[in-house]
Each structure stands twice: as structure tokens, then as C-alpha cells.
Amino acid sequence: MHINVIPNRGAAPTILLRESFRDGTKVCKRTLANLSALSAAQVQMIRGALRGDVLQAVEKTFEVIASPAHGHVQAVFLAMQRLGFASVLASKPSRERDLVLAMVASRIICPATKLATTRLWSVSTLAQEFGVSDADEDELYAAMDWLLAGQDRIQKKLAARLTKEDSLVLYDLSSSYFEGSHCPLAKLGYSRDGKRGTLQVNYGLLTDDRGCPVAISVYEGNTSDSTTFVPQVKRLREEFGIASMVMVGDRGMISQKAIDEMSKDTDVAWITALRSSSIRTLVEQGHLQMGLFDERNLLEISSPDFPGERLVACRNPELAKLRVHTRNDLLLATEKELEKIKLRVESAKLVGKDKIGVAAGKVVNRYKVSKHFELTITDDALSFARLQDSIAAEAALDGLYIIRTSVQAQRMDAPTCVRTYKSLAQVERAFRSIKTMDLKVRPIHHHLENRVRAHIFLCMLAYYVEWHMREAWRELMFSDEDQAAKLIRDPVAPAQRSDEAMKKVQSRTLDDGTPVHSFQTLMATLAGIVRNTCRTHGGRADAPLSRSPQHTTHNKNEPWN
């Protein structure tokens, strides 16, 4: 018996199991079975059996000597290939480029210090895939210096990829605490990490309207938000060559000084929000009447205090209810703490007007409600009462916010202005991912200023790759796939997930029965795919290893197979 392969023009060949026999002096063949439905491996096994080969299980022929995790590495590697990420870093291959690619991938897969990163080379196939298995931490530090030297060039490439002729650019500032005390960038300042009293560095992130990062800048830890904004506007215009753009920043970011500076350039528009004190002034002057919100939640107004600008007033009833509950909780918590101080005063454990005032002041300032309390303090007594008029005046503005913009109505209507301002949440999401969930930029262990800058830039590049991976995997995760619906939803009402997204949240499964993942669990699951390196069973320790590594696979029902 033998296997006969018959070619078919334009189709798969026909594979037949045949035997030869004699009919007198003539040699004939008869077909015993059609094997075309079998896999190539099965056909090969039958061919070996017909030859008389001794067949045995693979595990008896080979032994596995290494099984590093591979699936999550392959996912990041393919994402970088499809993005052409290597060409963003440098047009020509180099050792430094390979090292930076490996560090970016490592930041997504298992963020760690540079020393720890090299210690983890053997845990996965990352170092093999990027050809840096022999690299040590000193080479990684040198590659960071190389990366920082090319930051402007790299960010120009990203800006050219992401921005359009009429660009919408989001900007916000955050901070991360610092380990050590010798870096010139490390200063005491307002800590967004809640690490009061620790040194920190600030960094401002520029993204497009989708939240995909374009550029990042690093500042000393005591730099205020507003002072970083105008330099970023100039940078976009001069370095990145963006002709026309709309800058979006929160009320603490875009100061009046920045607005005055941007007003000199007719091709630069901006969107921000008014502070509560300005909103209260508009209400008191009669430019905004609360009764107008009885039948609608959004309206456009004007004021001589803001000439040439548009003001879009919004009122969210659900937000108003939340603020009522929050304020009541803060008032009750303050009264509870003041009662404790009052008991100390009455028992003569706390004596003296100055000492009592300091203790009471700490309490009312802790919960930011000092304006709602009247304190009466003497050397041996403390009394307090709520200022109902102050509370009522604040309550009247609950749920109210006003978007302030220079964008003309023909370019962007009022609802779109509100949606655009709310898109700043995309930058907040980027900060959460960079700081806590995935990339873990903090704490910062580097001491040299340039290394700190390179470290933060490296994390931004890692988020650039991760952002695209999240978009590609949106249907596998809890993310809302109906992005187009966001453009027509009520911009003031609380955000609502689509029916399909709610179905994924409630069932925890996709339509084909596979589990829904977060980005972290999906990467962890992919890490279960390993690359086995084998050699012949019982071979010498120095025997050549298999040059065709075998990859394990997940259950066939998993969505990525």
C-alpha cells in the first residue's frame, strides 16, 4: 500500500490510499480510501506506518527544557509591527532601537525597574523576540539616553500620524511621587497621588480627541498647571506645524492669561469651563436665570464680562442630587469633629483661644466647608452653627456648570462643545493607565534629570501601543463598542452604556460563550501560551536544541484563536 497525491489545478490535491496488484502480467492499482479530509500531520503518520517506522508519542521522543510565556509578548510584538512602531523610533535598525522596543513592550507586559526588567528576560520570550537577550541594565540606561535625544523627532512623527488639518487637542497635567532627594526635577508641590510631603515631578500630556497620546513634557514638581499650557500651544504650532487647532483644558489649566495669549492667534481656539465664583456672579447679575432649566438642561448665554466668547450653561439633576448628599455628609463629619473639640474644651483639656482656633480651623478646612460654619471661640469655650444662607446659595448652583469657549458656532454647536470638554476624561484615563493600572510610572527611582524625562517618555510610548491594543480588542473587553452613539447622546445627562455593552457587563460572556476580559486579564490569559524548547529525549546536555519552537495554544473556543 502507498499514498498517492494527485494535483488538482486551482484546488487542493487529492490524497488517496492505494495498493498495487498483478492481473496476469499487468500491474494494476486500486483505491482503498480517500484521505483528502485528513490533516497533513495525519497523512504523514499513515505514510510513516506504511514504511514500517516505529511511531511513539511526542513526549517520549522529545523533552521540554524551557517553557517561557509567549502569548502576551506576541500580542504586543504584532501590535508594534502593525503600527510601524519601530519606524517611529528610528528609520534605521539599531541596537538602541531594539532595546527601546523591548523596554516599551516590557512596560506593557510587566512594568518594573530597569534592573528588574533584565532579571525577567528569562520569564518570557520578550528578549528573544526583540533580540536583546544579552542586554544588561547599563545598556538599557544608555538606550534611554538615546531615546530622550530623539524625543522631539519621535513626537513630531506621532503628531503627523494623529493630528488633522483642523486638530482637536486635549491637554492635562499630572504628577508622580519620587523616590530619593537628588533629582533637580523633584520638588514639593500639589500631589495628585495623595502623597503629601513627598517630592514629585509634574508632566503634561497632549492627546488627540480620542485620547491617543501625541507628546509629553516633564516639569519640576512645584510647577502650576496654568504656566505649562501656553508653552504647549506654542509647541504645537511651531514644532509640530499644526495650522489650526482647538485646545481643550480644565478650568485650572486655561487661565485668563493663557486666553489672552491665545486670542492673538486666530487659528487657535480653546474650550474650558468657568469657576464656581464666576458662575455665581452670572446668576447674581441676571445673565443666567435658573428657571430656564425647567424644560431643558442646556442653553447658550452671553455676558459682557466675556466679550467675543460663547458660554454654554448645563444643569445635570443627577449631579445636583449627588452634591447635596456629599455636602450633607461633609457638614455632618465636620460637626462630629467639632463636637470632639468642644468636649476637650469643656473638660479643660484644650485651653486658650489660639489653640482652640487652630484645632477648629484644621477641622473645617479638612472638609472644605469653613464658609458654611460660624465659629465662636473664647479662651475656655467653643460654639459653632451652620450658616444656612451660605449653604442655600451654594445649593442653588448644584449640578450647574458652564462651558466657556472661543470656538465659533458654525464650527461647533453647543452640544458638541460640551461633549468636547467632557472628552478630557480620555486624558484622565491615560493618566490612570500610566500611573496605576498598567504601566506604573510611579514611584520614580531615577536620580538624573534626563533619566526621569526618558522614563516618563518611555511610559507614554508604552501607552501609545497599549491604546491601540485596547481599541483592537474592544469587542473582547467590557468596553463600549458603539462609539458613534456618543456623538448623538445627550451631552449633559449621565453617560449611559449601550445595550450591547450592558449585556457584556451583566452576562460576563460574549455571544459565543467566551468570557469578557479587562485588558489586564486578557494579557494574563494570553501569557498562558508558552513557547516550548525541546530536545531529543535522553540526549546530552550539550545536544543541539530544536530550532522550530512549539507554541502551546488555548482552548479552541477562546476568541483570539
pLDDT digits (tens, 9 = 90+) for 114-165: 888 888 888 899 999 999 999 998 999 999 999 999 999 999 999 887 666 6
Nearest-CA neighbor of 452 among 465, 442, 462? Answer: 442
- Looking at residue 541, its pLDDT comes to 53
Q: Which residues of 439-476 are buried (b: 16+ CB within 10 A; e: fewer)?
A: bbbbebebebeebbbbbbbbbbbbbbbbbbbbeebeeb
pLDDT at 514 over 90: no
pLDDT in tens, 178-234: 776 677 887 888 777 777 778 888 888 888 888 888 899 988 888 888 888 888 888
| Residue 338, all three cell numbers | 467639632
Q: 232-265 b/e with 16+ CB inside 10 Å = b? A: bbebbbeebebeebbbbbbbebbbeebbeebeee
Query: Peptide bond preceding 415: is omega within 30 degrees of 0, i.e. cis?
Result: no
| CA within 13 Å, CB half, 510 | 19
Mean pLDDT of 45-72: 77
Q: What is the percentage of the chain residues whose pLDDT exceeds 70?
A: 92
**Burial class of residue 318 in the structure, from the number of CB atoms within 10 Å of its CB (0-12 exposed, 13-18 middle, 19+ buried):** exposed
Which residue in 282, 487, 322 sits closest to 403, CA to CA? 282
Cell of 60: 517520549
pLDDT at 486 over 50: yes
Domain boundaries, the chain: 2-55, 318-395
Q: Which of 138, 97, 146, 86 is nearest to 117 (CA)?
A: 138
Which three cell numbers, joined as nine digits, stand for 329? 455628609
> Long-range CB contacts (< 8 A, 24+ apart) of 313-317?
313/288, 313/400, 313/401, 313/402, 314/400, 314/401, 314/402, 314/403, 314/418, 314/491, 314/492, 315/290, 315/399, 315/400, 315/492, 316/399, 316/401, 316/492, 316/493, 316/494, 317/399
